[in-house]
Structure 1
Amino acid sequence: MNLRHLLVAFSVVWLAGCATSPSNSVDGPLKPITQARPLSSHVTSLESNNDLWERIRKGFAIPDLQHELVDVQEQWYGSRPDYIDRMTTRSSKYLYHIVEELEQRNMPTELALLPYIESAFNPQAVSSAKAAGMWQFMPATGSYFELTQNAFRDDRRDVLASTKAALDYLEKLHRMFGDWHLALAAYNWGEGSVGRAIKRNERQSMGTSYTDLTMPNETRNYVPKLQAVKNIIANPEKFKIELPNIENHPYFQAVEIKRDVDVELVARLADVRLDDFKALNPSFHRPTIFAAGVTQILLPWDNAKVFQRNLAAYHDGQYASWTVWIAPSTMTVANAAQRVGMSEADLRSVNRIPPRMMIKAGSALMVPRTSQHQSDVATHIADNGKLALAPEITEVTRRTPVKVRKGDTMAKVASRNGVSAANLARWNDMSISSKLRAGQSLDIYKTVRVSAAGASAKKATPTKKVRTAGTQKAAPAKVTQKSKGGTPTKKKR
């Protein structure tokens, strides 16, 4: 008898013994079975949920705001289905990642809808107050959360970096105020402003909830807007809105890069449209990505392997067409262009230098690679390169009328205004010995150094003819310095 037969025979004998002798295994009478307690209350669904919207709805955790302003915002959004469709379609590239990050932090998934309010999910959005990206970070706040802003990239627009910074900030604000409505108000208005508004109400024995505080209209409507969008996402049928299908699956994945590489080459090797690549990598605002500053790029899920395969097989030339040149001194754009072998127009275009501006010493400029500059850009330049500009300075002759005082002579007026009597007489078509009367107006011309912006104002003013050395010469007209107006601030965070 082989081993298998022995095992079968043993099993039969053992089972027979168990069936005929139950009393041998239990002492005393049988007892009822007690109910078992599960180790976890979580039950895994047998059905796979492929709808990201449903996943978002299940994570709603911020108390609903009941306020008439919510009704107003619902009507506004509900009456614009095309706008909702554009926003939600645009968001399909980013929502899965944001929801993943929120769930890992155990944060309410309503916060994934916040970019609808901030930027309509446009990572290239820039406010009048210079807040940028889909989370709308101001420059100072972005720097506080370590979002790099330099000549080559702006991480306030970066999908991964800005999302992390925004959630870090929202967590910080929630810990500070203990209330999501107040945290959201602080995200829009600034934590200091909300804190002062709370203290002001406390001193007056008034409530300190979101609806109790006195705040700017933008902030007062901020949470109602989010609540309105939340209500539409929760029940689109009620508002006759059709949401686009967004799969509960990553839209993109990160791919490592080890060499400086042109943006257009990446898009070509990944087989994606250039606009689609820029939508996932909106922080890059120059034609070349510097690997020393950015170690990874984002590509659509199905194109990531295509890019890696094509990159490994790419041997058709250099990866990057551009490098960085550091200006050794302050100079004009024309001078810099001559030094690096570019046309002034091309240098301005690739580096986005506006007219009538000079390049300051130490500025980092994108220039074409040459045989002498083939190495990749160094880390300290890729991370810290700045483009510093200053208005061009030019000499302008400015006319200033002065009044003659009682007892004045040509020499006294000239001395008082720091010019020669001969020039004063010549400018006014008079002689040095001419008699002057009180209240008479004389013109004085002085050469001053002004910025190009100020000098440009003179072009619109007719020139005045004055006599010089027996000839007629056009004297420059009066130039007024353009006042520097302040930019209205939209956000204080």
Structure 2
Amino acid sequence: MRFLNLLWLASLLWLAGCATTGTPSDTTSGSAPVEAGTAAHTPLYPSGPLQPITPGAAGAYAVAGISAPADLWDRIRRGFSMPDLDTDLVRDREQWYATRPDYMQRMTERSSKYLFHIVEELERRGMPTELALLPYIESAFNPQAVSSAKAAGMWQFMPATGTYFDLKQNAFRDDRRDVLASTRAALDYLQKLYGMFGDWHLALAAYNWGEGSVARAIARNEKQGLGTGYTELTMPAETRMYVPKLQAVKNIVADPERFRTELPLIENHPYFQSVEITRDIDVSLVASLAGIREEDFRALNPSLHRPVILAAGMPRILLPWDNAQVFRRNLEAYSEGQYASWTVWTVPSTMSVSAAAKRTGMSEADLRQLNGIPPRMMIKAGSALMVPRATTTRQDVSGHLADNGQIAFTPEIVTRRTTVRAGKRDTVASIARRYKVSAADVADWNDVKTSSAFKAGEAVVMYLPVRLSKTSYARTSPRQPVAVATKARGGKAATAPKGGTPSKRKR
């Protein structure tokens, strides 16, 4: 009897293991969207008495592989679950990528720092791993890429859409370039779009063109009795090519030998670790303590605008896996001086760059370069400037300032010498009021007393302001050399339905 019970239990466990692999239909995208945190396949457990497995029932299931992926490419291939697109545009893009091996090599090597994290997040959410290849299409996996429409980062977020998905954009950092934050936002957005349209190709079209534009295109086709699939909608050329580009890269990753392409080895292992930061600290010091070059640090933390990390706004940084522990150990032992050479000063009133430089003990050139101040601009009151930190100061920048600090500018007021004609009974005071200058200045310019009167028709010397621009000029980050996203920017402005997500792109 005990033997029969053990046999029954073993059979039950064997059936449960087979059932967890799911049916062939699970790999299509026609099913309902998978919410974040759920598995891609729901285990099927027997209910009621066990029955013999028929040949037909056995054929409906696949055997789950137990071998670990050889590398990250293999892992990505195993997670492909979007329907394939087979069109002439796909073949055209396959040819384009296959005939540019140097470009493919640079692009895939650059992705090696970020790809493992993206795949992990996709699998955790139960999303198709094809989406890990999307930054190849968006930015060639360059987190510093900026499009002509001001979309930034490897996932190419427009400013408004980035704000909608809580990507901070301030004087000190731009989270649209942050590896963790932008990936979280992009996958949130893609899940939202898939929930709206129930089709990954349409979700991708909406990611590129805007959900409102795709919804209107579908409505137009429905009104005309036409199909509403991706290939049946009328859309801009860029969006028309968008999914074919992704499909082409997917095909090359699936079978690189067929396209005579060699993919660089990317191990199925994290490239970086997240490290906690509790105090403001210079970027150069972090790189030194971690034993890496500053450019390598910035490649993993590309959101930073400034030479210092403000702990209240960026409490975690990314370091190469093997260097993270080196940094922790060296930071604990560090006792050679202050951690941060820079702090933030809030400008109390609108002032010239030269006046601000004197207040902060910097040269005008250094203040301009550090804070990205354009020529012929004044700094507006309330702006957050990065300035040297006194060696005796231990107070770090507040969380509110670290998350919300901005820099705004207004054109300098340039004066020009001119003359005006005095009217009857005009005085120094009346002319000063008319031109909104001080009476003392009018008297000084004309070598008279402030109580003096002018004769009718007398020429009065004035120095009146000449505005360089009618509108103020505002920036949130310094000018930096950045790579431009490789893709074309066509089409019209796309807006979201009322109450929806701002369009990802604004053309």
TM range (shorter): 0.7 to 0.9
Alignment match, 2:231: 211
After superposition, give the CA deviation of every residue in 1:337-356 in whole Å (9 maximum; x if it has no partner).
11111000000111111111
| Paired residue type of 1:388 | A
Q: How does 1:59-98 map to 2 (within 5 A)?
A: 59-98=79-118
Say if 2:69 is the partner of 1:49.
yes
Distance 2:295 2:11 in 1: 60
Q: Give the counterpart of 2:288 among 268, 271, 275.
A: 268
Alignment match, 2:347: 327
| Paired residue type of 1:103 | E
Distance 2:139 2:8 in 1: 63
Alignment match, 1:160: 180
Q: How does 1:260-299 map to 2 (within 5 A)?
A: 260-299=280-319
Alignment match, 1:492: 506
Say if 2:15 is the partner of 1:38.
yes
Measured at CA, do residues 202 and 397 of structure 1 come closer, stay the same or move farther in structure 2, by a change above 3 Å? farther
Say if 2:399 is the partner of 1:379.
yes
| Paired residue type of 1:159 | V
Alignment match, 2:275: 255
Secondary structure of 1:38 counterpart: helix
Report if aligned partners of 2:346, 2:382 keep a CA contact under 8 Å in 1.
yes
Offset of residue 47 of structure 1 = 3.7
Report if aligned partners of 2:202, 2:230 keep a CA contact under 8 Å in 1.
yes
Report if aligned partners of 2:350, 2:380 keep a CA contact under 8 Å in 1.
yes
Measured at CA, do residues 57 and 369 of structure 1 come closer, stay the same or move farther in structure 2, by a change above 3 Å? same
Distance 1:211 1:322 in 2: 54
| Paired residue type of 1:328 | P
Distance 2:203 2:417 in 1: 56
Distance 1:25 1:265 in 2: 67
Offset of residue 66 of structure 1 = 1.5
Offset of residue 316 of structure 1 = 0.5
Offset of residue 51 of structure 1 = 0.6
TM-score normalised by structure 2 residue count: 0.73
Distance 1:294 1:40 in 2: 44
How many pairs are equivalent? Answer: 393
Q: In percent, how many aligned pairs have the same letter?
A: 68
After superposition, give the CA deviation of every residue in 1:151-176 in whole Å (9 maximum; x if it has no partner).
00000000000000000000000000
Alignment match, 2:205: 185
| Greater Rg over alpha carbons, structure | 1
Distance 2:392 2:373 in 1: 25
Report if aligned partners of 2:338, 2:391 keep a CA contact under 8 Å in 1.
no
Alignment match, 1:112: 132
TM-score normalised by structure 1 residue count: 0.75
Alignment match, 1:360: 380
Distance 1:362 1:376 in 2: 19
Measured on the aligned residues, the alpha-carbon RMSD in Å equals 2.9
Offset of residue 283 of structure 1 = 0.6
Distance 2:250 2:17 in 1: 30
After superposition, give the CA deviation of every residue in 1:304-334 in whole Å (9 maximum; x if it has no partner).
0000000001001000000000000111111
Report if aligned partners of 1:266, 1:307 keep a CA contact under 8 Å in 2.
yes
Measured at CA, do residues 312 and 218 of structure 1 come closer, stay the same or move farther in structure 2, by a change above 3 Å? same
Give structure 2 stretches of 5+ with no counterpart: 22-62, 420-433, 435-460, 471-491, 494-503
Say if 2:260 is the partner of 1:240.
yes
Distance 1:305 1:451 in 2: 55
